[in-house]
Amino acid sequence: MKFTNGYWLTRPEYRFDYASHCVRREVENGELRLLVACRPVSNRGAVIGCPTLTVCLSAPRENIIRVSVTHFAGESLKVPRFETFDEPAQPVIRFEDSCTLFTSGGLTARACMDEGGWKLEFLDRDGHLLTSSGFRALAHAVKEEGETASLQRNGPSYMIDSLDLAVGETVYGLGERFTAYVKNGQTVDIWNSDGGTASERAYKNVPFYMTNMGYGVFVEDPTEVSFEVASEKVERVQFSLPGERLTYDIIYGGSPKKTLSLYTALTGRPPLLPAWSFGLWLSTSFTTSYDQQTVTSMINGMRERGIPLSVFHFDCFWMRGFNWCDFEWDPEVFPDPEAMLKAYHAMGLKLCCWINPYIAQASPLFAEGMREGYLIKKTDGSVWQTDAWQAGMGILDVTNPAARSWYCSKLRQLLRQGVDCFKTDFGERIPVKDIRYFDGSDPLRMHNFYSFLYNKMVYELLEQEKGKGQAIVFARSATAGCQRFPVHWGGDNSATYPSMAETLRAGLSLSHSGFGFWSHDISGFESTAPAHVYKRWAAFGLLSSHSRLHGSSSYRVPWLFDEESVDVVRFFARLKCRLMPYLYQTAVEAHESGVPMLRPMLLEFPDDRACEYLDRQYMLGDRLLVAPVFDEEGWVDYYLPRGTWYSLISGERVEGGCWRREKHGFLSLPLMVRGGTVLPMGKCDMSTEYDYAEGIELRAYGLKDGESYSLTVPSVNGDSSCEFTLSVEKGQARVTSSCEKTYSVKLFD
């Protein structure tokens, strides 16, 4: 949100009180409280009519400093608020001349009591400046509407701060964003929207950003936070929100990866997902005409062609149109759902059903929900309704415990019929005007936070019914903390290369925002891709953490595109199955450390400045580099960081530290292994759920004589993980193992 006309002038409709002079400092219970006047106080008379801002510094965890700023303390504390997992550190507070230093771990905030101007600096463990809030940075503003009364301002108020950017500093994250990967120069409003993938709007907005300087900033407020990222003030990141309070955290990891780990420790880390979920998902698609016979033909078609399939997904029309959601199978197309689901389970499949939190007026559940008070209400007590999506629909009031129990009771019936998981669609179109929630939540703050409560509700139900480690949702909407309820997919993209590229940009931004797992609609949701786009996207999609074939108006089975599409999907689906010993251990790392499976190049190579803008390639874990092909003829340009690399597909050895331009057929793409890696390849290529250690092939890439490499091969059946160490001596491999499993070794020089 922009407040100024250039650097010097503010827009005439706004009146500002800028932090100017720290006049008092107090320490209590490990917190530093600063009273900051909004003009220099050089004499006693200056306190008359002088607004103040109270700035409180605390340490919610080591290496994190929380900055809480209050203008009017009498404003009620609004809910909801983000859930954080604080482990209060013991800060060190020191007074030096006119400055106060507040230290949490390796991060220090330095505030000075100086009439010359307000400055709050943040320093790393070596005393180097990370960023600061200084001249005309921290402020309270009021938008004046009409004539202003003598004792009050009559428009909405805002809290604002801005933090300096250094030369060459680049900004990342802020949720799922389809715009440029590096956020410098952008205005980002944290407001969940159903806007597709070709606009600045996003389904998943997270008020957290990180920079290449080793720190991140989390604004702890679920309302509409507006970021000006080197845009309104090109030397700063400004963030603002409505109200009288502002709280943000400076998170210092020293590197992007460690910063992300700290952020997810604060806001929550993803659970470990079931191994079957990493396999290929196939959908009915959205508006296609389908019944049990159609579904069975698609499943059998995949089996007949040797394509491993893990999950089948029933999209919206498993229920009757106009009834979404009533959670009843359409009897005309699915007359015996229990028998059908049982038959599909016998084929080794898991089953997923589409749901959303909206209850159409034609649904029998609408009258019940209205009668019991389970739907969001307007301030006059009537049910809020709209025709946008399903006629007369209302929305579940997720703040009402009885409403959540009621909704979950309907889902529980489906689980007991044989459904394994749910696609939790929508959750973005949440009204704010004239709305009253059951628990009194502020509607503006609930707009984004609704996605958290919605997905939490469904995920926890699945965890209760299926057990820990077996729960998964396929979610579209999200905000900070939703990484705890995976997996999330990228929304409604289109069947083109530009849309494929914007989908990847969104995945990279979401990874910077703490989401460990991610998926997208292979070949695009809108329209039907030409065969070449389908094949290129299939390779990309099957080298993502989760992989789904889904679309709008046509089936996405490969034989409807061309025969080579069958070959491509089969090749990469089988490759993903064999990569599961590596991929599942990477998933364990995401669960334990918060570092995502899909990693922007910057996370793994923070010291390589060439990686700061790379948005058409990524690391899958820490050892594999993937560069999708966005070109019909197969040309791809990608960057290899310094070192030796090997093509996983061809075995070719190449040297990095340079850009490469290559041409690839449809059964290939740059899939590169870092030299010095032992990559575990499983023996099974038809399932993602098997004994990863038994019969494993240990592929050693570029290990020199005297070098060794240790790796962990996880177990999916509750057994202990298996530890392997491979060393090379006189050109021969020597392997030690913690378990009695058969294995083979392949050396790549």
DSSP string, 422-467: EEE--------TTEE-TT---HHHHHHHHHHHHHHHHHHHHHHHH-
Q: How far is the C-alpha of 668 from the C-alpha of 691, rounded, in Å?
A: 27
Q: Are 138 and 69 in contact (CB under 8 A)?
A: yes
Q: Which amino acid is at 716?
A: V
- Name the DSSP letter for residue 386: B
Q: Are 370 and 400 in contact (CB under 8 A)?
A: no
Sign of CA dihedral 415, 308, 556, 491: positive
Q: Which of 209, 267, 203, 273 is nearest to 237 (CA)?
A: 209
Verify whether residue 428 is a known catalytic residue: yes
Q: Which amino acid is at 291?
A: D
Q: How far is CA 129 from CA 109, 126, 578, 667, 720, in A?
A: 10, 9, 46, 49, 45
Active-site residue, selected from the candidate residues 194, 228, 249, 492: 492
Tokens of 229: 């990222």
Q: Beta strand 120-123 with 107-112: parallel, antiparallel or unpaired?
A: antiparallel
Q: How far is CA 123 from CA 65, 109, 111, 271, in A?
A: 11, 6, 11, 33
Q: Is the link from the previous residue into 487 a cis peptide, with omega within 30 of 0?
A: yes
Tokens of 93: 């507070």
Q: How far is CA 316 from CA 286, 424, 471, 555, in A?
A: 6, 11, 21, 14
Q: What angle do CA 726, 730, 734 make, to 5 degrees?
A: 25
Verify whether residue 492 is a known catalytic residue: yes
Q: Are 452 and 441 in contact (CB under 8 A)?
A: no
Active-site residue, selected from the candidate residues 121, 224, 228, 428: 428
Active-site residue, selected from the candidate residues 425, 521, 589, 685: 425
E strand or H helix that includes residue 94: strand 92-96
Residues 6+ apart with CB under 8 A from 339: none
236 by Cβ neighbours in 10 Å (0-12 / 13-18 / 19+) ranks as: buried
DSSP string, 319-382: SPTT--S-----TTT-S-HHHHHHHHHHTT-EEEEEE-SEE-TTSHHHHHHHHHT-B-EETTSS
Q: How far is the C-alpha of 518 from the C-alpha of 714, rounded, in Å?
A: 21
The residues carrying an active-site annotation are 425, 428, 492
